[in-house]
Structure formats: C-alpha cells, structure tokens
Amino acid sequence: MICRYLWDYFKYRNDIQGAISFPDLSKKQDECLNPFIDTSLLVFFMTRRCNLDCSFCYLNLANYKTEFSDLNYDATVDSVHKLMKKPLVRRMYGVSLFGGEPLVNPNINQIVDAFLEYKKVIYMTTNGLLLESHLELLQKIDRISVSVYQNTIDALYNILPKLTPKKPFALTFALTKTTLLENVAILDRLFELASAISCESINIFTVLPSEYTETGEIDVSEAIFEGTPEGELYKQKAFELKERFPNKTVNFYAPQVRGVSERGKTKCTFAWWYICCDAFGNVSPCACVAPPEESYGNIFKDNFLMDNTWNCKEIREARRWFNSDELQNIPKLCKNCIHLNRELL
C-alpha cells in the first residue's frame, strides 16, 4: 500500500501553486492531486435545504429536497470542530459557506464564530433574501456572493441597498433561456441594482442544467447554447451592457457549447485547489455537485487521500480527460458544467 502510494506521488506529483494560479489545463499536467500538499479552500455544504425551489437549480436532485430536506442534515458547531481536527482542513486559509441556502441553517451564527476561532477567511454564497435578519453576521463574513434570479430581483431591490453600508457584494446572475427570451430587460435591471449598491463585481452566466429529470435524463431545456438565436441575443446584450457600464467589473461567461469537438480548449480551475464536503464529511468532486452519501469518499476516513475521494476513479478520470489533447469521452461528472466553457465574452 505504502509503495503504491509513494509511486502515485512521484508519478503524479502536482504543482499546486500552478493550479491555484489558474493554468491552461489543455496543456499536459498531472492528473492526480499531490496528497502531500494541501488544498487551499473548504467549500462547506452546511445545509441541504433552501427557501427557494428553482426548477433550473443544478442541485435540484430528487433526494436533495425530499429525504435530505430535514434539519438532520444541517451543519452544527460540533461538525465544524470535527472538521478542524483534520490537519488538511485546519491548514486551509478559508471556508466558503454553501448550500442549499446557508442562512436557513439555524446554527449559522455559531458556525461562523467557530470558523473564526480557527482564523479562517469566510465567504458565503446566498440568494440574499434572508440577509436583513442577519445584520450582525454580515460584519463577520469577508465576502458575500449574492445569487440573483428573475424571481428574486424585485425583493433584492428592497433588501440590498439597505445593507450596502455594511458590506459590499458580488452579484451572480443565473440566466435561463426562458428568462432571456421573455424578459431580456432583466439584465438592465441587474445592472441598475448593481449601481444602487456597493457592488464589487457582476458575473452573468447561463444556467447549468439540472442534473437529472424524473426520467433520468439530463435536462438542458433552460440552457443557452452557442449558435442558437438565444445565444446570439445573449452575446448582443452582453456587449451592449459592457459599453454602457465601462467602469463595472463584469464577467459575461460565453454560452454553453454542444459537443466535445466544438468546445475547443478545456479549462477547469476547480478540480485541484479546494475540497467540498458536507457536515458529515461526505465529499463531492466540485461545488457544482451536491455531496452524495460517500459516493466520492469521506473526509473523516483514514484513507482519505490515499485510495479515497480526491484520487478516486471518477475524479481521476475527470482529471485525465482535462489533461488529454484528444478531448474524448467527456466524464459524466462534467457533462453539463458551465465552467468547462469559462471564456468570457
């Protein structure tokens, strides 16, 4: 076991600092995480519940909102301390609070305080609708990313301007095909909202399709693809808004591309430098996949970095594909990922 472990280390030795600096992963690089060098960030799925029920949510799995919908899957202060007993986690510089909606977790304030005890930089991704009831919490979090949707932008118009003196925000907007075709002016409203608050950046991307439909098929009905009428409309609107708001930091991610052969060079900045897990240590391959029950390993298992998790078959398969010059047989994990098409318009 030890010999094979050391063989893997020397064979797949990875320059983590290079990975953190977002290299062009179309070049040949190691496929396996170097287990002797720590990752940098913990993405912590602290609840599997949400105050919204968006049909296009990429975490909208059947078991995510039924059997996992109760409080038994919420993180607690004890789960934070248990995670921090792992040297790999304790040495990370920060934690990103994720969900579900982090603010529905009744332990949110205590959890943030617990991470602060360990001197962690704290980020949070939220839909923003519950921020008004957590004003004290805003002072403790270093960066808040607010996910804006068509069905929440009106409410956020009333909420975020009140909080601006307390915390600058980063806005992300998930754009569906239906939203674009029926209400293209929604993008104008997003920029008006950004101008009304202390906004660090705006990120607009087309939604990642929900992973599976009830029939077990990938649902891409709300995605915006390259070369379609809605794809061209999206790009036209992006260039228009960039001209109107030249002083805003804005990232318009390109529409998704159908088929591996059409996509060109492949980049992934996520698969090497952070670890995602829930309160029970169950790990997911990236933040776009909800942590399933030990499918990709568990951070509390002794063989976490040896046979498990980061070096398991599925994730090594994905890394091998990223590093391939042939770009064939796209991994199931990554089939609909928006982050494989990260070039900006």
Q: In the prediction, which pLDDT does 55 show? A: 72
- 153-163 vs 186-196: helix crossing angle, rounded to 10: 10
The structural domains of the chain, with segments of one domain joined by +, span 147-256
**How deeply is 243 buried, as exposed, middle or buried, from its count of CB atoms within 10 A (0-12, 13-18, 19+)?**
exposed
Return the structure tokens found at 282: 């169950």
pTM of the predicted protein model: 0.80
Q: Which amino acid does the sequence have at 143?
A: R
What average pLDDT does the segment 50-59 reach?
76
What average pLDDT does the segment 202-208 reach?
83
42 within 8 A of 83, measured Cβ to Cβ: yes
Confidence of residue 125 (pLDDT cuts 50, 70, 90): very high
Least confident of 37-46, 84-93, 113-122, 317-326: 317-326
Nearest Cα to Cα of residue 10 among 44, 38, 36, 46: 36
Asked if pLDDT for residue 315 goes beyond 70, the answer is no
Q: Using one digit for the tens of pLDDT, what is the confidence trace for 136-151?
A: 888 899 889 999 988 8
What average pLDDT does the segment 317-334 reach?
64
What average pLDDT does the segment 164-169 reach?
70
